[in-house]
Chains A and B, each alone.
Chain A
Amino acid sequence: MNNTLKVERAKKDITQQDLAEEIGVSRQTINSIESGKYVPSTVLALKIARYFEVTVNDIFELDLED
C-alpha cells in the first residue's frame, strides 16, 4: 500500500513526533507507516485522514501487489 503521509506532513510542516502525539501512537509507528513497513488499521487511517482534513483515499492507495 502506498501513502502520501510524508507529503501531507510536509504540507503542514509538522514532525513525525508531533503527528504521533496528535493521533496517539508512537513516532516509530508513524515512521513505519511512511516507509510502507506497516499498514495502519482502519481506525488509525481515519484518524490520520481526519487530522489532515482529507479523505483516507487521498493519503492511502492500493499498489499493484495488494
Chain B
Amino acid sequence: MKVDVDFPLLNRKWLLLGYAFIPLPFILIIGSFFTKIDVGDYILDLMSGCWAAGFLILNLTRQNAEDEMVQKIRLQAYQLGFFYLLLGLFVQVIFNFIVSFWGFSGVTISTFSVLFLLNFYIFIAFHFQKFNNSQSI
C-alpha cells in the first residue's frame, strides 16, 4: 500500500535498545537499594518513563517484512491504541472524581504514564493482530 506520508521507521538493531528499556526500572530500583538513593517520589515516573521510551522504540522499529499488510496492521494498531488511551483516561478521570467524595486523591495522570499507556496499547494491538493474522484456519 502506497502512503502519502513516509512513516519514519528505525533499523531492526534498535529492537535491542527497546527491549533493554523494559527491565531497566527494576534494575534501577534494585540499584537504588544498594546505593541508598531514595527514588520513592519518582518511582512511578521512572517506571512509566522507561517503559514509554522502550515501547516507543519497539513501535517505531521496522518489521522483518514491511509490506502492505504490516502497514495496514500498524495503522489499525495506532487507531486502536489512541482509542483505548482515551477510554482509559476517561475511566481514570471518572474513578478519580468518584473516590474524591471519600477524600482520596485517586490515581495520578502524568505525561509519562500517558505516553507509556499509548505506546503499550499500540504495541499490544499491533502484535496481537500480527499473531492473529499468522494463524492458519
Show the binding face of A for B, using Cβ within 8 Å. Answer: 24-26, 28-29, 31-32, 35-38, 40-41, 43-44
Contacts and interface: CB of A to CB of B under 8 A. Distances in A.
Nearest to B70: A26
Nearest to B132: A37
Contact of A32 (B1, B64, B133): B133
A7 to B, nearest CB: 15
B35 interface: no
A37 to B, nearest CB: 5
A26 B137 contact: no
Contacts, number: 42
Contacts of A32: 69, 133-134
A48 B56 CA distance: 35
Interface in B1-54: 1-2
Interface class of chain A by DSSP: loop
How big is chain B's contact interface, by range?
10 to 19
Interface of B: 1-2, 64-65, 67-70, 72, 130, 132-137
Nearest to A32: B133
A25 B65 contact: yes
Contact of A31 (B1, B65, B134): B134
A44 B68 contact: yes
Contacts of B130: 28
A38 to B, nearest CB: 5
A4 to B, nearest CB: 15
B136 A35 contact: yes
Contacts of A38: 69, 72, 133
Contact of A28 (B2, B72, B134): B134
Nearest to B69: A29
Contact of B65 (A26, A35, A37, A40): A26
Nearest to B63: A26
B3 to A, nearest CB: 11
